[in-house]
Amino acid sequence: MSRLRPSCSGATLDELLRVARLELDPERLPGLGPVVDQIYGLVDQLDAADLGDVPPATAFDARWE
């Protein structure tokens, strides 16, 4: 996971929004891109963790009562 993500602006941002089925007014896009980059950058710091076979901290309880 060493490659950096592309900056989320222009065509990249347009395509991500299209895949997410989220239509936004064009004037929102310049403000959105940098925040997407910030959150991606934050989450990418998790690459530093050696997760091995660690399961997610979620569980499902199959009992009915």
Q: Which residues bind another protein (CB under 8 A)?
A: 8, 16-17, 20, 22-24, 28, 31-32, 35-36, 39-40, 42-46, 48-49, 51, 54-58, 61, 65
Task: Report the candidate in 44, 40, 43, 46 with the shortest Cα–Cα distance to residue 9.
Answer: 40
At 57, is the secondary structure helix, strand, or coil? coil
Residue 45 Cβ vs another protein, minimum distance, rounded to whole Å: 4
Residue 9 Cβ vs another protein, minimum distance, rounded to whole Å: 12
For residues 37 and 7, the answer to whether their CB atoms sit within 8 Å is yes
| Minimum CB distance to another protein smaller for 11 or for 54 | 54
